[in-house]
Amino acid sequence: MIAVTKTLPERIRVRVRDTGQASRLAVSRLDALAVAGLVAAAYLAGYLWSTDRLSVRAGLGGSVTVVDEPLARAFERTGQLQFEPVALVDLWVVRLLVSPIDVLVGATIAGLVGLNLALAYLALVQPRSCGLGAGAGAAASVPALLSGTVCCAPVIVIALGVQVSGTLLTVLPWLLPLGVVLLLGSLVYVGGLVDTENGRRVS
Amino acid sequence: MDPTRRGLLATAAAVTTASLAGCVGDTDAIGPYEPDGESGGATPEEMTASPDEDAVAETAIPIADDQLPVSYSLETLRGEVIDGGVPQDGIPSIDDPVFEPVADVGDRFRADDPVFGVVREGEARVYPQSILVHHEIVNDEIGGESVAVTYCPLTGTAMGFERSGVEFGVSGNLVNSNLVMYDREDESMWPQMLGTAIEGPLEAASLREFPVHWSTWSDWQAAYPESTVLTEDTGYVRDYDDDPYGMYNPSSGYYREDSDPIFEPLRTDDDEPPKRMVLGARPPEGPLSIDHETLADERLLEIDHGDATLLAVHDRSIDVGHLYRNPDGETFELEDDRLVDADGDSYEPGEAPLKRVYVYDAMWFAWTGFYPDSAHFG
């Protein structure tokens, strides 16, 4: 038998293809889809809460306030990757500042986190004969958790009351893009670990 | 931000902090303030620059006849400017403020909620801290004069500036934790506490200031019931019930007296806790600060400062301090919250027959950072 050594571009192409297949598997299985959906929803809520777009308190009543010219307001930046809210929605115990672009950014990251953990879940529930242990799933979840903390780093700095140096100030704006890159990296990593042939099951 | 969110984020961040150890300037700063006797890095050096006369002649912005003192060179200050994490106007100023009479406010505020009051040209205005913390600058008109009422939550400073139709905005930058404003005429950069441009066509020029009084809702509305109050109709939607830095009522989060500033001050002086409120003044004899609580306790302080004799008076009705030059050493006493001179004539604490010295409240770390050679009366 002749061993075939793949070139780097080929290996990347194969890995991306495997990740695509694993992602399709994740959304085609009800259990994995449930993991992805629940995690993404929880993450999005956490993202909006930690960035002061969502709060929970008593006695709010029900009302909707929309700014004048919401389309123009929606594209005004308030932070590195934060934009003006265009509406304030009070739903008795929930107050939501609706910034369409913030929701889009949060939903994108939440989707990536959900998919990551769904793949990690698949890797965990697959039989050990596939060569996977619990460590693979845990390793895959680390970038997801990291991204969860970096998304709101400036808020955390205020909450913690630490003095920050110029270095950290330089780094802060890059933490969210870094989190997204890490999530994509971990998606490709764990996507390659999922056995898409044996992973299918009737749900 | 509600305390629950703050606590949870702080707990969650504790883990992250370890990984940021190389980036965080002073990890020991987490939690309550502990004096360490260290000073910040900037070297004080009296500003010697003077403003460009042509630029001063051409600008519509009212420029003060005399430069305000600045304890650092403009180059040093420009080098200390940091990105506050928001773009220019990312914290939007209020440019079309809407007001309502005190009587229409209802139960929107609690008695002890902080407000900033202005009395000018016979008109009294009140600006709730809960709104200004989200906007920092109100481009307003009071008594027919256009003015900017400004507030920096990180240094606890509320100050007024004349503007003659030119709007001011939030640059997104900070120096010594203080708001750096920019003017929308030619974009000179004005740190609020200095009132002096450090960059741009008007660099080294100083603005004309007027007092903005830090008070409470109950005190202000009792003293000035005819006031009009800034409403939440700001043109933006914000959660005005939520202060992202903490709470003043009661004091917590960033505003806690013994908590550290987020950004390293220009200079550090541990004689007082970092966020303790002082009354700062910049008379020609040199900057000085007066401990707010001490003044509130003593009510009347005679201060020898350089060659000058000054008189500090606490106005209990709105819990603010006033400072006067008292060159002849006139004797005053407080009777029934009124100043009484040797002839038996009485005056409101804010209307003494003496030349007033402009003062504003500030957090201790911010004052001593900008004015490290300041005399302190505490």
Query: Which of A89-98, B14-23, B90-99, B281-290 is least confident?
Result: B14-23
> At which residue do the structure tokens 């008292």 appear?
B326
Give the model's pLDDT for residue A145: 60
Q: What is the predicted ipTM?
A: 0.81
Task: Identify any residues that bridge with A95 across adjacent strands, giving them in sequence order.
Answer: A55, A90
Cα nearest neighbour of A160 on chain B: B10
Contact B87/A78, CB-based, under 8 Å? Answer: yes
Residue B265 predicted with pLDDT over 70:
yes
As to burial, measured by CB atoms within 10 angstroms (0-12 exposed, 13-18 middle, 19+ buried), residue B232 is middle
Task: Please count the other Cβ atoms lying within 10 Å of the Cβ belonging to residue B331.
Answer: 11
Task: Please count the other Cβ atoms lying within 10 Å of the Cβ belonging to residue B87.
Answer: 17
Three-state SS at B248: strand
pLDDT averaged over consecutive 10-residue blocks of chain A (203 residues)?
70 84 86 91 88 90 94 92 94 95 91 86 65 53 57 56 61 73 81 65 37
C-beta of residue B288 within 8 angstroms of C-beta of residue B376: yes
For testing contact with chain B, the best of A163, A170, A171 (most B CBs within 10 A):
A163
Chain A 123-152, residues with CB within 8 Å of chain B CB atoms: 149-150, 152
What is the distance between the alpha carbons of residues A89 and A77, in angstroms, rounded to a whole number? Answer: 20
Compute CA distances B355 → B8, B221, B311, B330, whole Å.
51, 27, 10, 12
> At which residue do the structure tokens 């256009």 appear?
B146
Give the model's pLDDT for residue A14: 84
Residue B112 predicted with pLDDT over 70:
yes
- Which of A52, A157, A159 is the closest to B239 by Cβ? A52
Closest CA–CA distance from residue A3 to any residue of chain B (Å) = 42
Chain B CB contacts of A97 under 8 Å are: 237-239
What is the distance between the alpha carbons of residues B86 and A166, in angstroms, rounded to a whole number? Answer: 15
Give the model's pLDDT for residue B363: 98
How do residues B196-224 score in pLDDT, each as one tens digit? 999 999 999 999 999 999 999 999 999 99
Chain A CB contacts of B14 under 8 Å are: 160
- Which of B10, B87, B239 is the closest to A159 by Cβ? B10
Tell me what the mean pLDDT of segment B281-304 comes to. Answer: 96
Tell me what the mean pLDDT of segment B301-328 comes to. Answer: 95
**Per-chain mean pLDDT for chain B:** 90
Chain A CB contacts of B82 under 8 Å are: 166, 169
C-beta of residue B157 within 8 angstroms of C-beta of residue B361: yes
Closest CA–CA distance from residue B85 to any residue of chain A (Å) = 6
> At which residue do the structure tokens 């005053």 appear?
B332
Domain locations in chain A as residue ranges: 9-51+100-191
Alpha helices in B136-206 (DSSP H): none
Give the model's pLDDT for residue A116: 85
Contact A55/B2, CB-based, under 8 Å? Answer: yes
Tell me what the mean pLDDT of segment B220-237 comes to. Answer: 96
Give the model's pLDDT for residue B13: 43
C-beta of residue A35 within 8 angstroms of C-beta of residue A116: no
Closest CA–CA distance from residue B299 to any residue of chain A (Å) = 34
Cα nearest neighbour of B84 on chain A: A169
Between residues A183 and B128, the one the model is more confident about: B128
Tell me what the mean pLDDT of segment B144-149 comes to. Answer: 96
How do residues B187-196 score in pLDDT, each as one tens digit? 999 999 999 9
Between residues B55 and A2, the one the model is more confident about: B55
A96 has a chain B CB within 8 A of its CB: no
Q: Hey, what amino acid is at B67?
A: Q
A153 has a chain B CB within 8 A of its CB: yes
